[in-house]
Amino acid sequence: MDIFTNLILIFVSAALINNFVLHYFVGICPFLGVSRKVDTAFGMGLAVTFVISIAAFLSWTFTYFILRPEAPLPSWVWQTVSGEPTATVDLSVLSYIMYIFVIASSVQFVEMYVRKFFPPLYKSFGVFLPLITTNCAILFACLEIMKNLQDPTNLWGLGQAMALAVGGGVGFTIAISIMAGIREDLDLCDVPKPLRGAGIALIVAGIMAMAFMGFTGVDKGLEGALSALLK
Amino acid sequence: MLMTLTTLILAAVILALLAVAMGWILGWANRTFHVEVDPKLQAINEALPGANCGGCGFVGCGEYAEAIVAGKTELTLCAPGGAGCVELLAKIMGIEVGDSLPYRPVVHCVARYNDRKGHNEYRGEATCQAANMIADVQGCAYGCLGLGDCKAACKYDAIKIEDGLSIIDYTKCVGCKACAKVCPRNIITMTPFKSERILVIACSNQDFGKDVKEVCNVGCIGCKACSRLSDVFQFKGEAKLPSIDYDSYRPGMDFQEVMDKCPMKGMLYVGKPTDRDIDATKDEEAPQVVTVDFKTTVDDAEWRG
């Protein structure tokens, strides 16, 4: 499988087949909280895509050079200390704290930057940025990337990490926009009293998740189509 | 052993370095990307009550503050803040503001359930909004439906429904207009309270006296006795119902004679009760006259088509 096919597959898989929200059930909080109006839901989706990309870039960099087993930086330090040229160190334990730390500070930085140089963008994103700083969907993307940096013989490159992150963000945007569209119409429905609000929202989310299960297996067909196309 | 120790130290050092680096970067960014926020905006944000009731017509206190700073709007729109708030805002903005009266909602209907006639069984959704779309829920097409849309809209627990009539508790009311906006019959109007207790007309029925009598025991029959006694009561244009002209209304005026003359006893004092009335009338409320708005009033001509 060549790299192009691989990237497309990772992207499609993150966006549709293994949709973060509807398959892994991460990022449910904004998914339910900000899905009352399509406009704001779409804005939230874009903000998540944006932050998730930055977080993926940073977490790939940190994981690749510092956190993964046999990472170059700590191994070099250890080799210098111990004098064994082949020794390696595994700092994976630091991953969670490192990711949260890096995500939070980078989002803070981006917020300040956008506020200074793109005030209109800040106005539309501003509300959401702090909200998604510690969103589990973002942490989930980082951890997925880490998972694929564990085996030294089969490491993900930055491209694959970014494909996963952008795909995940796009998938989140799709899911939350559909959800918001449904919930806008849901306001006009005569929902039984005990189910109003969060109850019916969760039921709708569940039905959507089932619908998205229909994408299972699309990857095989897509892979075949892509390889035929590239031949 | 050495391995574990090195890992520990490495982990600690890396995190510490990262913390220092990020702290430095963020600190630098904070200074470099600093955006001047108008000190007035901050002061105004602090001066506003922060209830975010939306009574001013803006989405929240923050937006109202921005509009004030931009000079796009009046300072007197904040009902929960009241006069003190306006004073503060005026001071911050360096503007002189005249007297601002607290506006409070008044329900222009005094008929309890048994005073109204022509009730029909209504089994629909228990909101005024829904009931108002159906003709003949009750005889009077102007009066309070008593299903409590205003009560539900009130964030301050200042409205109760008593015998099918909505009653406002002026000790709790902050004047956010939420009830006035939500009433489908537009019988709640915002009235300037020149004193803590003012006179209001407690009916909204715009029909002729004969028709009013058919649907209500206490509705205004438009006899004009009040307007003959005092200029404050005006029958504007074709109106079959007096309205109180609050520009010429003065708190000290004595309306006892008018109130005695009124055959339906259709005007009331609302607001803070006097000691004398405290037992008799403290929960009643009365309306100022509503301008007729046939677009939003249920009327057979409009609705039965």
Chain B residues with CB-CB distance to A102 below 8 A: 18, 22
For residue range B203-230, what is the model confidence (pLDDT) as tens digits? 888 888 888 888 888 888 888 888 888 8
Helix axes of A158-186 and A38-62: crossing angle, nearest 10 degrees: 160
Q: Is A93 helix (H, G, I), strand (E, B) or coil?
A: helix
Strand bridging mode B165-168 / B159-162: antiparallel
Assign domain B103-280 one CATH number from 3.40.50.300, 3.30.70.20, 3.40.1440.10, 3.30.70.260.
Answer: 3.30.70.20
Which of A40, A54, A81 to mutate to test binding with chain B, by most B CBs within 10 Å of its CB? A81
Its CATH architecture, for the domain B39-93, is Orthogonal Bundle (1.10)
pLDDT of res. A203: 93
Confidence of residue B244 (pLDDT cuts 50, 70, 90): confident
CA distance A227 to A2: 9
Partner residue opposite A89 with nearest CB, options B10, B18, B25: B10
Q: The pTM is what?
A: 0.59
In this structure, are strands B233-234 and B197-201 parallel, antiparallel, or unpaired? Answer: unpaired
Q: Cα(B229)–Cα(B240) distance, rounded to whole angstroms?
A: 17
Please report the DSSP string for A106-167 in residue order: HHHHHHHHHHHH-HHHHHHHTTHHHHTTT-HHHHHHHHHHHHTTS-TTS---HHHHHHHHHH
pLDDT of residue B227: 83
Question: Can you name the residues that pair with B200 across neighbouring β-strands?
Answer: B268
Which residues from B are below 8 Å from A105, CB to CB? Answer: 22, 25-26
Asked whether the predicted pLDDT for residue A71 surpasses 70, the reply is yes
Do B25 and A66 count as a contact with CB atoms less than 8 A apart? no
Q: What is the DSSP letter of A204?
A: H
Q: What is the pLDDT of residue B208?
A: 87
Residue B9 confidence (pLDDT) above 70: yes
Considering only CB atoms, which chain B residues are within 8 Å of A74? 7, 10, 14
Residue of A90, A105, A107, A191 to mutate, testing the B interface (most B Cβ within 10 Å of its Cβ): A105
**Per-residue confidence band for B303, with pLDDT thresholds at 50, 70 and 90:** very low
For residue B113, count other CB atoms closer than 10 A to its CB. 14
Contact between residue A30 and residue A135 where contact means Cβ atoms under 8 Å apart? yes
Lowest mean pLDDT of B97-106, B142-151, B273-282, name the range.
B273-282
pLDDT exceeds cutoff 90 at A165: yes
Averaged pLDDT for residues B256-261 = 81
pLDDT at B194 over 50: yes
Q: Which residue has the higher pLDDT, A30 or A24?
A: A24
SS3 track for B175-225: CCCHHHHHCCCCCEEEEECCCCEEEEECCCCCCCHHHHHHHECCCCCCCCH
A62 or B3, which is more confident: A62
Residues 6+ apart with CB under 8 A from A62: A98, A102
Q: How confident is the model at residue B277 (pLDDT cuts 50, 70, 90)?
A: low
Strand-pair category, B233-234 with B188-192: unpaired
Structure tokens at A116: 């200074």
Closest Cβ opposite residue B33 in set A94, A101, A116? A116
Distances (CA, A) of A3 to A10, A157, A226, B236: 10, 10, 12, 81
Residue-wise pLDDT tens digits, A173-184: 999 999 999 999
- Residue B214 has a pLDDT of 86
Nearest CA in chain B to A105: B22
Looking at residue B294, its pLDDT comes to 53
Please give the pLDDT value at position B300: 47
pLDDT, average across residues B27-41 = 84
Q: CA-nearest residue of chain B to A94?
A: B11
Secondary structure, 3-state, A29-44 = HHHHHCCCCHHHHHHH
Res. B66: pLDDT tops 90: no
A57–chain B nearest CA distance, Å:
16
A116 contact residues in B (CB cutoff 8 A): 32-35
Q: What is the pLDDT of residue A4?
A: 86
Q: Does position B276 have pLDDT exceeding 60, yes or no?
A: no
For residues A53 and A197, the answer to whether their CB atoms sit within 8 Å is no
- Confidence at residue B258, expressed as pLDDT on a 0 to 100 scale: 81
Residues 17-46 of chain B with CB under 8 A from chain A are 18-19, 22, 25-26, 29-30, 32-35
Which residue did the predictor score with more confidence, B92 or A19? A19
pLDDT band at A167 (very low <50, low <70, confident <90, very high): very high
When mean pLDDT is compared across A89-93, A126-130, B131-135, the lowest value belongs to A126-130
pLDDT at B28 over 60: yes
| pLDDT of residue A109 exceeding 80 | yes
* Mean pLDDT value of segment B126-133: 87
Could A105 and B26 be called an inter-chain contact, meaning their C-beta atoms sit closer than 8 Å?
Answer: yes
Least confident stretch, A1-10, B38-47, B169-178, B286-295: B286-295
In this complex, do B14 and A89 lie within 8 Å of one another by their Cβ atoms?
no
Phi and psi (nearest 5°) for B102?
A: -70, 130
Q: Is the ipTM of this complex over 0.95?
A: no
Query: In residues, how long is chain A?
Result: 231
Q: How far apart are CA B249 and CA A197, in angstroms?
A: 48
- Say if residue B12's pLDDT is above 60: yes
Q: Is B5 on the interface with A (CB under 8 A)?
A: no
The reported pLDDT for the residue numbered B10 is 85
CB B78 within 8 A of CB B100: no
The closest of B291, B92, B54, B47 to B174, measured between CA atoms, is B54
Of the partner residues A81, A94, A112, the one whose CB lies closest to the CB of residue B11: A94
Confidence at residue A91, expressed as pLDDT on a 0 to 100 scale = 84
SS (H, E, C) chain B: CHHHHHHHHHHHHHHHHHHHHHHHHHHHHHHHCCCCCCHHHHHHHHHCCCCCCCCCCCCCHHHHHHHHHCCCCCCCCCCCCHHHHHHHHHHHHCCCCCCCCCEEEEECCCCCHHHECCCCCCCCCCCHHHHCCCCCCCCCCCCCCCCCHHHHHCCCCCEEEECCEEEECCCCCCCCCHHHHHCCCCCEEEEECCCCEEEEECCCCCCCHHHHHHHECCCCCCCCHHHHHCCCEECCCCCCCCEECCCCCCCCCCCHHHHHHCCCCCEEEEECCCCCCHHHHCCCCCCCCCCCCCCCCCCHHHHCC
pLDDT score of A31: 87
Please give the pLDDT value at position A103: 86
Greatest mean pLDDT among A99-113, B16-30, B35-49: B16-30
Round the average pLDDT of chain B to a whole number and report it: 80
Domain boundaries, given as residue ranges, for chain B: 39-93, 103-280
Section A24-29 average pLDDT: 87
- Across the interface, whether the CB atoms of B10 and A77 are under 8 A apart is answered yes
- Give residue A171's pLDDT: 95
Given pLDDT bands bounded at 50, 70 and 90, which one contains residue B288?
low
A36 contacts A42 by C-beta, under 8 angstroms: no
Cα separation, B146 vs A23, whole angstroms: 48
Distances in Å between the Cα of B20 and the Cα atoms of A101, A142, B200 are 12, 22, 68
**Best interface-test mutation with A: which of B1, B26, B30, B36 has the largest number of A CBs within 10 A?**
B26
A22 pLDDT band, cuts 50/70/90, is: very high
